[in-house]
């Protein structure tokens, strides 16, 4: 037998085997496609939940951060108004405290998910 005849016979056997099992392969393909679509839907729902959680986290950051900064500014303003502390010292202190708060809140929030 020549190599071409062996190759044709092998190809013929493959085609016959695929034809014999085509119904099973079709069902397998449909199940695979269904699982793929379910997985894609689950990934999209997960991304949406993560985006909603990130928005909620940023909202908390803004509320609590604004509240804390307002309290510090009010205390500093009251101390300067009463003449207990100089404005320069409180300005330095406030810059340090507010910078620390921003760094703390920035570390405690999740980074945005990568976009595909």
Query: What distance in Å separates the CA atoms of residue 100 and residue 107, rounded to the nearest whole number?
Result: 11
Kindly state the tokens that stand for 48. 């949406």
53-108 pLDDT per residue, tens: 888 888 887 888 788 888 888 888 888 889 888 878 888 888 888 788 778 777 76
Kindly state the tokens that stand for 3. 């190599």
Q: Let me know: does 110 contact 61? Beta carbons within 8 Å.
A: no
pTM (2 d.p.): 0.49
3-13 pLDDT per residue, tens: 566 666 766 77
33-64 pLDDT per residue, tens: 888 888 889 999 999 998 888 888 888 878 88
Average pLDDT, the chain: 79
Tell me the Cα Rg of the chain: 33
E strand intervals along the chain: none
């Amino acid at each position: 037998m020549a190599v071409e005849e062996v190759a044709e016979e092998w190809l013929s056997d493959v085609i016959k085997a695929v034809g014999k099992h085509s119904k099973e392969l079709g069902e397998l393909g449909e199940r695979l496609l269904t699982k793929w679509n379910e997985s894609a839907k689950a990934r999209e729902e997960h991304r949406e939940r993560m985006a909603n959680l990130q928005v909620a986290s940023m909202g908390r950051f803004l509320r609590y951060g604004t509240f804390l900064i307002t309290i510090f500014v009010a205390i500093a303003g009251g101390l300067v108004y009463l003449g207990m502390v100089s404005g320069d010292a409180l300005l330095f202190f406030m810059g340090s405290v507010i910078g620390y708060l921003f760094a703390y809140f920035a570390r405690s929030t999740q980074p945005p998910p990568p976009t595909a």
